[in-house]
Amino acid sequence: MVVNPKTFMIPEIDKEKCTGCGICEDACPGKCISINSDDVAVIEPFYCENCGICCEVCPEEAAQLPWHSWQQHAKA
């Protein structure tokens, strides 16, 4: 796979899809996912290794690892 150096991945949780089951929290090798008081998974992106395991194990497909450009990030 060729990766564009002008892009990077930021993990995200779709709050509408997340049921707070905790499967992603248990599977995360970096232990950077927790379930908040609203029963929604929260990812600490600073510690995330971008391995994608949370995306693979999520039964609701709420965990996503989309590509972003540095230009998009600078506008946020």
Q: Taking 80 as the threshold, does the pLDDT of residue 4 lie above it? A: no
Cα–Cα distance measured from residue 66 to residue 12, given in angstroms and rounded to the nearest whole number: 8
Condensed to tens digits (0 to 9), the pLDDT of residues 13-27 reads 999 999 999 999 999
pLDDT digits over 55-70, tens only? 999 999 999 988 766 6
Residue ranges of domains in the chain, CATH in brackets: 7-75 (3.30.70.20)
The chain-wide mean pLDDT, for the chain, equals 85
Residue 9 host element (H or E): strand 7-9
For residue 61, the model assigns a pLDDT of: 96
List alpha helices for 6-62, DSSP H: 23-27, 53-57
pTM, whole model, 2 decimals? Answer: 0.76
